[in-house]
């Protein structure tokens, strides 16, 4: 449904820029970038924007591999997917000094491990993946991964998981205290067995409705991205975002320049546009995540600067990136995922 | 519907004799470009080597079919034993699609009969009403169904309000929700072919049966059913086959907890597995199953018309 609405919105944007001075084709996560911001970009530059959306890093990669290269100019993969796309030779290179606003990047995100030297990408938004719990249904301690994998009776059967192998298996590894992408057979077996047991407590796997089912009360717990959780809370759900003591997943989405981008100049302009604090703050205000650009904090609306979803408490466990597994481990991960959903 | 086309049919056929083959050209083009070519690509891909994270390497391999039929353990190094995972998934899909077809038949058959026995003037209106939901996109209809069925949705509220039940019934995220979704999505495909068959039925035959002291049940079974059987078979196929490969209803209404064939195949292309040859192989196996069903039903209808 969202996909349809975004496509319709994309048409609307194209229609307004009748006297186009260029095109820009974006491949983006759903419900993430505010429509006004795209319109502002068109107004400032005269560049027509068309946007398609996806609901997981993997489906974006699949669409690009199945003929999407050469269609899109920029995409917005998460950290580990930037790594995979660089490895697959799918990203174009940004020359030194080509981005006028490159200096605006926060030092912490200017030289990340997944794209050393930011040769292919700019920071977009970062946040965490954990879960939110309905406080009307459950009043006990929620800052533990047991809520997802070994839940109390009140929550059993009312849990939604993200329909995303990477984030479910990363969280499961954190729960078991084993390294991600472990090659140890005993650990992999334990992971498989633990998930088989946990599935009995789960109601569904869903990513793009993870906010709505918390608001409607269909699920009492949902694994969720922090900003999406904040939105659900702002829409009236009595929920609390958990920071498990065992740890949780952190991520950084980056805007990447795709290889063979048909409108490379427009893509560079768009990246410079998103490095302006004022513009990237608009994304943060809409999506409720955190920007990777200096000078945004004064532009945030509401309680964004202080809300729990954006501010891990001191006693939270460590936040870790999803790791890129080797092929041999990935094959076992696929098997575990199929076992889980068979 | 079909009546009246026979008078003057021969004369008209003569008129178009010279261009007859050209008239088929558009269909042939569509068939070759949009049906045969994709199936051919799929067939070839299913015998290629998978590329890590999606894509294929152009080397012959049976790995995809091996994965489908052979269980080699979590680490893939045990000797081949029967792989039940995918058989379970296929069986679940057949079962769900079958249940949805049965539901559609139980409701569609009387509906079609009802429409066909209305005065000729009002029939188009009834047929029109059957097709109205089809003006809305399938995705939107499936999402709406989710809102209707959920624990604190209108259906449960109404039932509780009427005093039928005390606690909401949980339907969403169950197999029943998937069956309801499939049945609802494809009901008109059941009603319309049966309606077309019943409409052509000569009701004087059932009067004759009654004159010969056949009971209503015997008349239905021995006179009416054989005559409308092609319509019933067509309706069942039109509901069963798309249900078999559906993934919207299982994902949205069933909670995506248990793969159906459609979602299993989707996962190979859109998920992190990125195993295109396996997705292609699963699709080929599904296609073969559908072909077998169609062949059997074609033979059935041949026998019934003979």
Domains within chain A, CATH numbers bracketed: 2-125+252-299 (3.40.190.10), 127-249+311-341 (3.40.190.10)
Q: What is the pLDDT, as a whole number, of residue B150?
A: 87
CA A50 to chain centre: 21
Cα dihedral A89, B274, A1, A22, rounded to 10, equals 20
Domains within chain B, CATH numbers bracketed: 40-305 (1.10.3720.10)
Within 8 A by CB and 6+ apart from A103, the residues are none
Q: Among all chains, which residue has been given the structure tokens 């893939």? A: B76
Given a cut of 50, whether residue A1 has pLDDT beyond it is: no
Within 8 A by CB and 6+ apart from B164, the residues are none
Size of interface A-B (CB pairs under 8 A): 99
Decide: B223 and B214 in contact? Cβ < 8 Å: yes
Question: What is the mean predicted confidence (pLDDT) over A96-104?
Answer: 94
Task: Label residue B251 by pLDDT band (50, 70, 90).
Answer: confident
Tokens of B293: 């069903």
Contact yes or no for A163 and B76 at CB 8 A:
no
The HSE-up count of residue A20 (CA atoms within 13 Å, CB side) is 15
Decide: A148 and A218 in contact? Cβ < 8 Å: no
Distance CA A114, CA A240 (A): 31
- Say which of A58, A165, A188 has its CB closest to residue B74: A188
Q: What is the pLDDT, as a whole number, of residue B304?
A: 65
Q: Among all chains, which residue has been given the structure tokens 């209707």? A: B148
Measured between alpha carbons, how far apart are the two ends of chain B, in Å?
23
Tokens of B95: 């079962």
What are the tens digits of pLDDT across the range B30-55?
A: 999 999 999 999 999 999 999 988 88
Contact yes or no for B259 and A341 at CB 8 A:
yes
Q: Using alpha carbons, select from A222, A337, A207 the residue that is nearest to residue B259.
A: A337
Decide: B82 and B71 in contact? Cβ < 8 Å: yes
Task: Label residue A175 by pLDDT band (50, 70, 90).
Answer: very high
Q: Is the dihedral of CA A321, A327, A331, A332 positive or negative?
A: negative
Distance CA A211, CA A217 (A): 10
Decide: A283 and A32 in contact? Cβ < 8 Å: yes
Contact yes or no for A1 and B54 at CB 8 A:
no
Phi–psi pair at A254, nearest 5 degrees = -125, 150
Burial of A295 (0-12, 13-18, 19+ CB in 10 A): middle
Which stretches within B16-136 are classed as H helix? 20-30, 37-46, 63-69, 84-116, 123-131
Task: Label residue A36 by pLDDT band (50, 70, 90).
Answer: very high
What are the tens digits of pLDDT across the range A221-264?
A: 999 999 999 999 999 999 999 999 999 999 999 999 999 999 99
Decide: A232 and A224 in contact? Cβ < 8 Å: yes
Beta bridge partners of A29: A54
B270 contacts on A by Cβ (under 8 Å)? 56, 58-59, 62
**pLDDT top residue among A40 and B163:** A40
Please tell me the distance in Å from A91's CA to the nearest CA on chain B: 16
* ipTM attached to this prediction: 0.82
């Amino acid at each position: 449904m969202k996909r349809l609405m975004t496509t319709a919105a994309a048409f609307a944007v194209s229609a307004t820029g009748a006297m186009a001075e260029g095109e820009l084709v974006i491949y983006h996560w759903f419900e993430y970038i505010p429509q006004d911001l795209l319109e502002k970009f068109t107004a400032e530059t005269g560049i027509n924007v068309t946007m398609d959306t996806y609901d997981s890093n993997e489906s974006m990669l699949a669409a690009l591999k199945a003929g999407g290269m050469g269609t899109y100019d920029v995409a917005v993969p998460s950290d580990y997917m930037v790594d995979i796309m660089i490895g697959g030779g799918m990203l174009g290179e940004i020359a030194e000094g080509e981005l006028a606003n490159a200096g605006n990047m926060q030092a912490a995100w200017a030289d990340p491990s997944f794209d050393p030297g930011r040769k292919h990408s700019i920071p977009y938004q970062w946040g965490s993946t954990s879960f939110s719990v309905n406080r009307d249904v459950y009043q006990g301690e929620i800052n533990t991964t047991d809520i997802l994998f070994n839940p109390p009776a009140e929550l059993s059967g009312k849990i939604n998981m993200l329909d995303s192998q990477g984030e479910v298996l990363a969280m499961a590894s954190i729960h078991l205290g084993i390294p991600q992408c472990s090659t140890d057979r005993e650990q992999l077996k334990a992971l498989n067995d633990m998930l088989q047991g946990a599935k009995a407590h789960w109601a569904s796997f869903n990513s793009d409705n993870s906010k709505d089912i918390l608001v409607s009360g269909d699920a009492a717990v949902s694994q969720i991205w922090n900003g999406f959780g904040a939105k659900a809370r702002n829409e009236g759900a009595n929920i609390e975002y958990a920071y498990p003591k065992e740890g949780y997943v952190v991520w950084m989405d980056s805007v990447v320049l795709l290889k063979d981008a048909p409108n490379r100049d427009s893509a560079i302009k768009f990246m410079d546009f998103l490095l302006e604090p004022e513009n990237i703050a608009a994304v943060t205000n809409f999506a409720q995540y955190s920007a990777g650009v200096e000078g945004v904090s004064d532009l945030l609306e509401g309680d964004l600067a202080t809300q729990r979803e954006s501010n891990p408490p001191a006693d939270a466990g460590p936040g870790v990136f999803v790791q890129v597994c080797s092929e041999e481990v990935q094959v076992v991960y696929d098997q575990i995922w199929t076992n889980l959903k068979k | 519907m079909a009546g009246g086309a026979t008078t003057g049919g021969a004369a008209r056929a003569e008129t178009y004799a010279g261009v007859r083959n050209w008239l088929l050209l558009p269909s042939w083009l569509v068939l070759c470009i949009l049906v045969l070519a994709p199936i051919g690509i799929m067939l070839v891909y299913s015998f290629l080597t998978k590329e890590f994270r999606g894509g294929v390497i152009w080397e012959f391999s049976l790995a995809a079919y091996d994965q489908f039929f052979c269980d080699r353990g979590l680490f893939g190094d045990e000797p081949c034993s029967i792989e039940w995972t995918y058989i379970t998934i296929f069986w679940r899909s057949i079962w769900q699609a079958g249940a949805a077809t049965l539901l559609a038949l139980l409701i569609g058959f009387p509906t079609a009969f009802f429409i066909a026995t209305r005065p000729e003037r009002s029939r188009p209106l009834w047929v029109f009403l059957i097709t109205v939901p089809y003006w809305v996109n399938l995705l939107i209809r499936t999402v709406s169904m989710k809102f209707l069925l959920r624990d604190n949705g209108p259906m449960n509220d109404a039932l509780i309000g009427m005093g039928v039940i005390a606690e909401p019934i949980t339907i969403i995220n169950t197999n029943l929700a998937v069956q309801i979704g499939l049945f609802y999505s494809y009901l008109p495909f059941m009603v319309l072919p049966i309606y077309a068959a019943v409409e052509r039925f000569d009701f004087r035959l059932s009067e004759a049966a009654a004159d010969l002291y056949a009971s209503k049940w015997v008349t239905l079974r021995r006179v009416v059913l054989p005559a409308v059987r092609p319509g019933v078979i067509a309706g069942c196929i039109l509901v069963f086959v798309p249900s078999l490969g559906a993934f919207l209803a299982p994902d949205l209404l069933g909670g995506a907890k248990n793969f159906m064939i459609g979602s299993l195949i989707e996962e190979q292309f859109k998920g992190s597995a990125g195993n295109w040859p396996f997705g292609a192989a699963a699709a080929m196996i599904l296609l073969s199953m559908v072909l077998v069903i169609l062949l059997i039903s074609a033979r059935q209808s041949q026998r019934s018309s003979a």
